[in-house]
Structure 1
Amino acid sequence: MCRLFGFRSSVPSAVHHSLVTQKNSLLIQSREHKDGWGIAAYSAAPMPLVAHGVAPAHSDPDFQRVSNGVSAHTVVAHIRLASVGAVELRNSHPFNHGRWTFVHNGTVRDFSRHHASIEALICPTLRAGIQGTTDSERCFYLFLTRLAARHPIGQPVPVEGVARALAETMSLVSAITDTTETPQRSAMNFLVTDGEVMVASRRNRTLFVSLGDAFSATGTLPTSGTKLEQLIVSSEALCGGPHWTPVAEEDVIGVDASLVFHHWRVPELAGDAVPPPTPGPTRHAA
């Protein structure tokens, strides 16, 4: 189990408060989720700047140093409690491929038993980029495979295409792992971004969003098509107050490049997901 954080704003902003000083900041949460950390930030350049550590965030001065220096329109952060894969840098989130950054809170059930079946769904060209030993990184590359089946992943992708690929990843993995022999379902809270589009899913873990002052007292998510100034996604509410709204189980939420909010259910996106034809290597330009 881990904890994830995503921030998308219309203007570059500091995130030190959320990561370090809030009542329930990631630094505080890292006292339990102690097996490393990572931060990815998108500013003027299209590619993110990514930093990782394997020490607990609360005792690693690099975590506070990086957090203090981040001011960006898109930030993804993660603290890890290792369930699959050793505590080492190559297994630390966020995972990155070109413009894309991905984090996972959860565990794929019986991954050691099912990893070959999951890897078989990943395009061989993309599969060659896997560096670590986690279930999370393989879910990321399966997501990229689904995305590349419809869109060149080195170019801007519509938010619905990102959401659909994320939901299909969840559907394909759960079809392999969630059997009558394993009563516990695979937990797949995913968050992915290319710096402009940001999409998150909830499955078998908590997930909350904060949408800014205009929505602080509603207690519900806005309707699809609502323009936002800011979106924060977090495994846990970072502080008290009514502006933290829970995301429902099997929901996918996100914003497009213009910060327009979108909301889907996993079944309506995934349908009967089947592995696509293997896309050619030109579809995977970084």
Structure 2
Amino acid sequence: MCRLFGFRSAIPAAVHPSLVTEKNSLLIQSREHKDGWGIAAYGAEQAPVVAHGVGPAHSDPDFERVSSRVSSHTVVAHIRLASVGAVELRNSHPFLHGRWSFVHNGTLREFAQHRAAVEALICPSLRTNIRGTTDSERCFYLFLTRLGARHPIDRKVPVEAVARALAETMSLVAAITDAAGQDGRSAMNFLVSDGELMVASRRNRTLFVSTGPSRDDVSTLPAPGTKLEQLVVASESLCGGPYWAPVAEEDVIGVDANLVFHHWRVPELAGPDLFPAVKPATSPIVA
């Protein structure tokens, strides 16, 4: 159980209000989600600059200090309420691999029971990068495995490929953890970015999108193909204004490197032909 935040803008901008001063900022939400925080901001380098903490963001002066200094075109942030894995730095989101940053809001059902099966789907060369004990980090490396099955993960990739890899991750994990006839489903709100594109999924947790107060109709998501000036993705609306549109269950949304909005359904991206193709896990394509 956590809260995630993603910011993508045509021009670098401060995110201090969303993280600290808004009515429902991440700092406010951290009174409940108190088991660590992380902020990844992209600049001139391909890999983001990242700060992590293991305490509650609302009582950690470093969270506000870092938030006040961030001005970027791409920011990924997270506050954690631990459900799988101890409260320690290696389990704090965002998780990183090269240019990729990844955060998760949710929990995989009965993860201890299913951990080995999930890890078996991660290619060995990526599996060795796992440092923590969370279900979230394993979902990240499964995502990179699925992405690497089609594209070099150390190069720029199409936004559709990222969406497909997220959807495949969700479907493969659900097939393992969501046993037929049992109550409850694994919650998998994921958000991933390489500093240019940003893609998020919703499953069994709330997820909202804002493109700023300038839109006339803010009750619905932008139409696919709309070029945006700004995209904000969050687990909860961050302020009281009518600027937040809900993402539907089993949807994937995002923007490409040109800030063009995209919208998919998970079943459209991860069809029934996925499952015969996933074993054995192989090394990702690299340059």
Q: TM-score range by the shorter chain?
A: over 0.9
3-state SS, counterpart of residue 215 of structure 1: coil
> Which residue number corresponds to residue 179 of structure 1?
179
CA contact (8 A) 2:95 2:103 kept: yes
3-state SS, counterpart of residue 4 of structure 1: strand
1:155-200 superposed Cα distances (whole Å, 9 cap, x missing partner): 0010000000000000000000111353110000000000001000
Deviation at 1:112, TM superposition (A): 0.2
Counterpart CA distance in 1 for 2:82 and 2:282 is 32
CA contact (8 A) 1:196 1:256 kept: yes
1:64-118 superposed Cα distances (whole Å, 9 cap, x missing partner): 1110110000000000000000000000000000000000000000000000000
Question: Structure 1 residues 216 and 187 mapped into 2: Cα distance closer, same or farther (>3 Å)?
Answer: farther
Structure 2 gaps of 5+ residues are none
Counterpart CA distance in 2 for 1:280 and 1:103 is 23
TM-score, with length taken from structure 2: 0.97
Deviation at 1:277, TM superposition (A): 5.6
> Which residue number corresponds to residue 162 of structure 2?
162
> Which residue number corresponds to residue 99 of structure 1?
99
Deviation at 1:217, TM superposition (A): 3.1
Count of residue pairs brought into register by the alignment: 284
1:95-145 superposed Cα distances (whole Å, 9 cap, x missing partner): 000000000000000000000000000000000000000000000000000
1:223-269 superposed Cα distances (whole Å, 9 cap, x missing partner): 11110000000000001122100000000000000000000000000
> Which residue number corresponds to residue 25 of structure 1?
25
Question: Structure 1 residues 167 and 251 mapped into 2: Cα distance closer, same or farther (>3 Å)?
Answer: same
CA contact (8 A) 1:149 1:277 kept: no
Structure 1 gaps of 5+ residues are none
Counterpart CA distance in 1 for 2:280 and 2:114 is 21
Deviation at 1:207, TM superposition (A): 0.3
Q: How does 1:144-155 map to 2 (within 5 A)?
A: 144-155=144-155
Counterpart CA distance in 2 for 1:180 and 1:253 is 28
Counterpart CA distance in 1 for 2:143 and 2:73 is 23
Give the percent of matched residue pairs that are identical in Structure 1 and Structure 2: 76
One-letter amino acid matched to 1:87: V
Q: How does 1:39-78 map to 2 (within 5 A)?
A: 39-78=39-78
Counterpart CA distance in 2 for 1:97 and 1:239 is 32
Counterpart CA distance in 1 for 2:7 and 2:283 is 33
CA contact (8 A) 2:121 2:281 kept: no
Counterpart CA distance in 1 for 2:22 and 2:196 is 25
Question: Structure 1 residues 48 and 276 mapped into 2: Cα distance closer, same or farther (>3 Å)?
Answer: farther
Question: Structure 1 residues 187 and 47 mapped into 2: Cα distance closer, same or farther (>3 Å)?
Answer: same
Counterpart CA distance in 2 for 1:120 and 1:277 is 8
CA contact (8 A) 1:199 1:254 kept: yes
One-letter amino acid matched to 2:198: M
TM-score, with length taken from structure 1: 0.97
Deviation at 1:44, TM superposition (A): 1.6
> Which residue number corresponds to residue 122 of structure 1?
122
One-letter amino acid matched to 1:100: W
Question: Structure 1 residues 213 and 276 mapped into 2: Cα distance closer, same or farther (>3 Å)?
Answer: farther
Counterpart CA distance in 2 for 1:215 and 1:246 is 15
